């Protein structure tokens, strides 16, 4: 028996040791491959004789990538992301670069990222056309609404002969869990300040409240109006033509005998149907040169990433710096990895920038729906201390800077937002689930003793005591008043005036400027320019400090990620993923007071 146990233990130990060796060897192999690639490819160069800048964004547009691209060998295509700031820098640099003759935009691999990000990228491409006086050609095998919104700014828009353009307007539908929770006997106690603060409604209602319906309808109408107007202007369509195409889509399709590509062309949405080889031939013709008639050669081009790498190598480094810190994701208390805004970890980034003598100003790029009120205040206070130290702080709102995201912005000198930014949602809520009834149906009971009324009062296994519920509501209302005071002081408004436009209501960036919640409409570049002006800088370098994360952690994150990178079109799978995401987000919340400033809003 002893010999058997010894052999079993030895086998287990050999397995563990072998697995350890395999993992370490894989890590070593990855490092060696990275070194070899770096040595073999010292850096791309811009083709001579005039070239096209190839902009082919993939996955989701983000402010800051949440994984390490060098590990894509192990992760496949999962978590595909394209950093918006890199695209903007490449396009705006190429605009004034005589080596770049035109811009080629291909949108097939682009999934989403928020209307404001698409709008900022669209504006940069439009500047390339108008200010740089260089042509822009765009093509898609098929166009989703967001892809087409981006591509429509081009001088020419091409579509595959069997493709389509899917324009459908904007919508926002939520899943309401109240009926299911009632069947399970689960009670959700909702505490909130602001009648438009709708985050808890899916857990306490079976349908959308009238307040939420009113605010959402007004908000979506405003955003859709902007999309429609910009597409009409770029495509030189009459104001009602796009609406007619979308509202009467069946008639449009019937007139084209069911051919979606021809229907898009008849509606004036595209200029030409072209196959891939015809597309390449067209670009070579536009570029001209000795190889323009050689059908075996691809057109002269350089990708946006390679171009950016090449131009960055040639730049001189200035001593003065402006730090752009990205607050992307849900705001959570404590130290958090990239993809979330940790109250402590983000405050640490701010302190490092403040203590760095080379950094003369900060720009906080916010792409967050909010989260923990506690963590939001920790971050806002660090920004306030930075301003007191004499360094300007500017907020630049991306697609989403609402609730806790706006709380952070209130700690800055100026706020910039895109017209389509989702912001506001100045309100506070708390939720407490009660499981006493479902436990009772299972024959389980809870009993015990406490030394004071609040001891064990927030135990979800027990009915919530009315006094504890009242205390929670009082705390929520106090935090809401605190929020109003912070905004009033930052925006130089009376608290009563702030309250009228707060109440948890969501506003677009354009509306927020008119209400005094935002100073200017503009993107990240405008915010950086403002920061430089306040710091009295003429020559400066923009740096983007990030939270450090170990190679080992990144490697293991990719190896053991539950997402296999596969693409599914199953409706059942999509529903399951959406429901799982709704519940999974709740598990991340860890505010020490259970008080949140979070916006239940999606970026269209």
Sign of CA dihedral 455, 460, 466, 470: positive
3-class DSSP assignment, residue 267: coil
Distance, CA of 132 to CA of 150 (rounded, Å): 18
Distance, CA of 432 to CA of 189 (rounded, Å): 5
The structure tokens listed for 231 are: 């597409």
| Rounded-to-10 torsion of CA 561, 563, 566, 568 | 180
The structure tokens listed for 516 are: 């005094």
For residue 70, indicate whether it is catalytic: no
Strand blocks (E) in 307-463: 321-328, 331-332, 341-342, 359-368, 370-372, 393-402, 414-417, 422-424, 428-434
**8 A C-beta contact, residue 526 and residue 353:** no
Sheet holding 81-83, edge to edge: 81-83, 59-62, 110-112
Size (the chain), residues: 604
**8 A C-beta contact, residue 427 and residue 597:** yes
Q: Please name which of 506, 587, 406, 424 lies closest in space to residue 172, comparing C-alpha atoms.
A: 506
The structure tokens listed for 380 are: 């806002």
**8 A C-beta contact, residue 102 and residue 139:** no
3-class DSSP assignment, residue 105: strand
* 124 Cβ neighbours under 8 A, 6+ residues apart: 87, 88, 91, 92
Distance, CA of 198 to CA of 211 (rounded, Å): 9
The structure tokens listed for 375 are: 């963590």
Which single residue is written with the structure tokens 């990620």? 561
DSSP readout, 436-469?
Answer: HHHHHHTT-------SSTTTTTT-TTSPPPHHHH
For residue 357, indicate whether it is catalytic: no
In this structure, what are the phi and psi dihedrals at residue 81, rounded to the nearest 5 degrees? -145, 150
Catalytic residue among 80, 197, 284, 360: 197
The structure tokens listed for 121 are: 């990228």
Q: Please name which of 432, 431, 429 lies closest in space to residue 504, comparing C-alpha atoms.
A: 429
3-state secondary structure 499-548: HHHCCCCEEEHHHHHHHCCCCEECCHHHHHHHHHHHCCCCCCEEECCCCC
Catalytic residue among 403, 425, 436, 530: 403
Count of CA atoms in the C-beta half-sphere (13 A) of 244: 12
How far is the CA of 336 from the CAs of 327, 345, 378, 551, 580, in angstroms?
A: 12, 6, 14, 16, 21
In this structure, what are the phi and psi dihedrals at residue 508, rounded to the nearest 5 degrees? -80, 165
Give catalytic residue positions: 197, 403
């Amino acid at each position: 028996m002893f010999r058997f146990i010894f052999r079993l233990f030895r086998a287990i130990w050999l397995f563990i040791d072998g697995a350890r060796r395999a993992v370490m060897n894989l890590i070593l192999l990855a490092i060696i491959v990275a070194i070899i690639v770096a040595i073999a490819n010292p850096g791309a160069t811009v083709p001579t004789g005039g070239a096209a800048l190839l902009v082919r964004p993939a996955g989701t547009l983000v402010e800051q990538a949440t994984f390490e691209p060098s590990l894509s060998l192990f992760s496949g295509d999962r978590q595909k992301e394209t950093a918006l700031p890199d695209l903007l820098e490449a396009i705006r640099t190429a605009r004034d670069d005589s080596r770049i003759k035109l811009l080629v935009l291909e949108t097939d691999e682009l999934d989403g990222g928020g209307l404001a990000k698409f709008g900022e990228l669209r504006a940069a491409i439009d500047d390339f056309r108008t200010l740089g006086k260089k042509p822009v050609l765009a093509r898609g095998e098929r166009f989703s609404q967001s892809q087409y919104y981006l591509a429509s700014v081009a001088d020419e828009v091409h579509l595959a002969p069997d493709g389509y353009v899917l324009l459908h307007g904007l919508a926002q539908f939520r899943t309401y869990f109240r009926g299911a929770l009632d069947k399970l006997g689960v009670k959700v106690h909702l505490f909130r300040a602001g009648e438009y603060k709708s985050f808890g409604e899916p857990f306490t209602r079976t349908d959308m409240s009238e307040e939420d319906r009113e605010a959402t309808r007004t908000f979506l109408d405003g955003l859709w109006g902007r999309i429609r107007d910009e597409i009409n202007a770029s495509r030189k369509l009459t104001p009602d033509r796009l609406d007619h195409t979308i509202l009467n889509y069946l008639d449009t399709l019937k007139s084209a005998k069911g051919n979606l590509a021809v229907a898009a062309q008849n509606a004036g949405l595209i200029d030409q149907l072209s196959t891939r080889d015809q597309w390449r031939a067209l670009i070579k013709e536009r570029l001209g040169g000795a190889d323009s008639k050689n059908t075996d050669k691809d057109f002269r081009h350089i990708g946006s990433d390679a171009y950016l790498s090449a131009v960055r190598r040639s730049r001189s480094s200035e001593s003065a710096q402006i730090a752009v810190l990205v607050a992307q994701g849900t705001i959570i208390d404590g130290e958090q990895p990239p993809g979330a805004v940790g109250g402590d970890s983000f405050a640490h980034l701010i302190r490092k920038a403040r203590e760095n003598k080379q950094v003369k100003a900060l720009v906080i790029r916010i792409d967050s729906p909010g989260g923990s009120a506690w963590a939001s205040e920790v971050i806002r206070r660090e920004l306030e201390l930075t301003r007191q130290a004499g360094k300007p702080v500017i907020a630049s709102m991306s697609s989403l800077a609402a609730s806790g995201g706006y709380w952070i912005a209130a700690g800055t000198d100026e706020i910039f937002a895109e017209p389509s930014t989702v912001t506001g949602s100045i309100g506070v809520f708390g939720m407490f689930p009660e499981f006493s009834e479902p436990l009772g149906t299972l024959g389980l009971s809870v009993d015990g003793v406490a030394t004071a009324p609040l001891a064990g009062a927030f135990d979800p296994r027990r009915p919530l005591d009315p006094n504890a519920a009242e205390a929670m509501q009082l705390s929520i209302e106090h935090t809401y008043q605190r929020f109003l005071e912070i905004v009033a002081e930052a925006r130089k408004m009376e608290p009563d005036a702030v309250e009228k436009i707060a109440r948890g209501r969501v506003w677009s960036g354009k509306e927020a400027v008119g209400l005094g919640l935002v100073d200017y409409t503009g993107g990240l570049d405008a915010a950086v320019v403002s920061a430089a002006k306040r710091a009295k800088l003429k020559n400066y370098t923009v740096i983007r400090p990030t939270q450090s994360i170990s190679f080992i952690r990144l490697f293991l994150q990719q190896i053991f990620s539950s997402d296999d990178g596969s693409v599914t079109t199953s409706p059942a799978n999509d529903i399951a993923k959406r429901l799982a995401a709704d519940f999974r987000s709740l598990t991340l919340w860890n505010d020490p007071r259970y008080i949140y400033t979070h916006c239940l809003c999606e970026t269209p």
